[in-house]
Copies of this chain bind each other. A is one copy, B any other.
Amino acid sequence: MLGLLRAHGPLNRGELSRRCGLSRTTLHDTLSGLLATGAVISAMPDEAPRGRGRPAEKLALNPTVGQAIGIDFARRAVHVAAVGVTYEIVGSAGEAHAPGLPWADRVALAERLVRRLVGGGSWQRVLKGVGVGVVGPVAGARTGTLSGVGALLGERFGGPVLLDNNTRLAALAESTWGAATGDQDALYLRLSYGVGGGVVAGGVLHRGADGVSGEIGHIPVDPGGRPCECGGRGCLETVASIRAVLDAYRARGGRGDDLPALAAAVEAGDPIALGLLRNVGTEIGRVLAALSNAIGPRVIVIGGELAEVGAPLLGPVQEALDAGAVPISRHRLTLRRAALGDVAGALGGVALALGESPLLSRYPAAEPEPGPADSSAGRYGEAAARPRLALTPLS
């Protein structure tokens, strides 16, 4: 019924009946339910048809009722987004928090943000799903793999919860609504407090064995480099994360404790900041060249707060990419800034929850599990039986 109204716009009961083939009674019952949720509203046309009596009531979707919710639990912030039954974005919101905030508080913050966005109550009755991005590899794009957090989210939101890596979800969003829309082969890199990415290969979001893919931040670039929180050494993240760049800036005598200070120094032509960003950009470009030669993207999208410093970083990225990419790729490979900002991960969660993107066609089929208290971690087979996501324990 919702699909018909989405495809055809407002219809009267007769038109709906013809198109859906339901009996008069079933149609009446279904419509009553939908009208009660507020997802479907009844409207009288402004003008009555000529030469007729009472104008026919039109039934339409209520664009303010959310049908899918995306949540991105980033390292230092929660972002949420929602789409309505019309599949248009209702809105998005986000709030920073201290690193290491307990999971219960992060979930509560997400809930506050979502309720602010889509209002209370009835939207839950038409909720298709909640797509949730978390840091680290996720084995299955389904509830149950992160049993504690998944169950808690299911209880709070009352809909099926699908979990995935948040940077891969950002790649999904950039390929759905952002800088790589329509590109069959794309590589996404996010430069934030963590460094990660996502791969779209042959028109589909690539998940990788055990949900490991897009871990670009953990590609070693300096075997003798600094220890990384993944347990490795000299990973790209130890060079190109916001924290790493700010630390290196201060170590070289730069003054500034945060990204706006660094951006101001760059703006003022500070040679320490510019030289540093050149080195960092070169390392990033080398990694992207290596991956491009192996994977063959048409477009590389760079997002995350660090990318906002622009040309002083992205120029050297482009130079190193050109130097390292096979000749045939050099003039065909485009480097683009991300288009969706810090809400990309949450928007990717929405796309995951809707589950209708061709980009997800090789993802494990989502089997929606209705709502509350669904903490049956074992029911999704092998992947679910062995939770694989390294996360702060639920507090």
A residues contacting B by CB (< 8 A) are 137, 184-185, 197, 199, 201-204, 206-216, 218-220, 223, 230-232, 286-287, 289-298, 323-324, 326-329, 332-333, 362, 388, 390
By a CB distance below 8 angstroms, the chain B residues around A290 are 219-220, 287, 290-291
- The distance in angstroms between the C-alpha atoms of A216 and B216, with both chains bound, is 16
- The distance in angstroms between the C-alpha atoms of A292 and B202, with both chains bound, is 18
> Are B327 and A212 in contact, CB atoms less than 8 angstroms apart?
no
Contacts A219-B290, A290-B219 given; does A208 touch B332 at CB 8 Å: no
By a CB distance below 8 angstroms, the chain B residues around A204 are 202, 362
Q: A219-B289, A219-B294, A294-B294 are in contact. List 18 more A-B contacts (CB 8 A).
A: A197-B294, A201-B201, A201-B202, A202-B204, A202-B362, A208-B296, A208-B297, A209-B296, A209-B298, A209-B329, A209-B333, A210-B332, A211-B296, A212-B329, A218-B293, A220-B286, A232-B327, A287-B290
Contacts A232-B323, A289-B219 given; does A199 touch B294 at CB 8 Å: yes
- The distance in angstroms between the C-alpha atoms of A73 and B134, with both chains bound, is 47
Option from B199, B211, B326, B362 in Cβ contact (under 8 Å) with A215: B326
Contacts A202-B207, A212-B326 given; does A294 touch B293 at CB 8 Å: no
- The distance in angstroms between the C-alpha atoms of A286 and B233, with both chains bound, is 13
By a CB distance below 8 angstroms, the chain B residues around A333 are 209
Option from B209, B286, B298 in Cβ contact (under 8 Å) with A184: B209
How far in angstroms is the closest Cβ of chain B from A215? 4
> Are B220 and A295 in contact, CB atoms less than 8 angstroms apart?
no
By a CB distance below 8 angstroms, the chain B residues around A206 are 201-202, 295-296
The 8 closest A-B pairs by CB, nearest first: A208-B296, A209-B298, A213-B296, A212-B296, A215-B293, A202-B362, A219-B290, A185-B209
> Are B294 and A215 in contact, CB atoms less than 8 angstroms apart?
yes
> Are A327 and B230 in contact, CB atoms less than 8 angstroms apart?
yes
- The distance in angstroms between the C-alpha atoms of A133 and B231, with both chains bound, is 41
Query: Which chain B residue lies CB-closest to A286?
Result: B220
How far in angstroms is the closest Cβ of chain B from A310? 25
> Are A232 and B326 in contact, CB atoms less than 8 angstroms apart?
yes
By a CB distance below 8 angstroms, the chain B residues around A293 are 212, 215-216, 218-219
Query: Which chain B residue lies CB-closest to A228?
Result: B326
By a CB distance below 8 angstroms, the chain B residues around A232 are 323-324, 326-327
How far in angstroms is the closest Cβ of chain B from A138? 10
- The distance in angstroms between the C-alpha atoms of A329 and B331, with both chains bound, is 34
> Are B295 and A295 in contact, CB atoms less than 8 angstroms apart?
yes
- The distance in angstroms between the C-alpha atoms of A167 and B287, with both chains bound, is 22
Contacts A185-B208, A209-B298, A289-B220 given; does A362 touch B203 at CB 8 Å: yes
- The distance in angstroms between the C-alpha atoms of A223 and B283, with both chains bound, is 11
By a CB distance below 8 angstroms, the chain B residues around A185 are 208-209
- The distance in angstroms between the C-alpha atoms of A199 and B206, with both chains bound, is 12
- The distance in angstroms between the C-alpha atoms of A287 and B293, with both chains bound, is 11
Query: Which chain B residue lies CB-closest to A299?
Result: B209
> Are A210 and B294 in contact, CB atoms less than 8 angstroms apart?
no
> Are B328 and A295 in contact, CB atoms less than 8 angstroms apart?
no
Query: Which chain B residue lies CB-closest to A330?
Result: B231
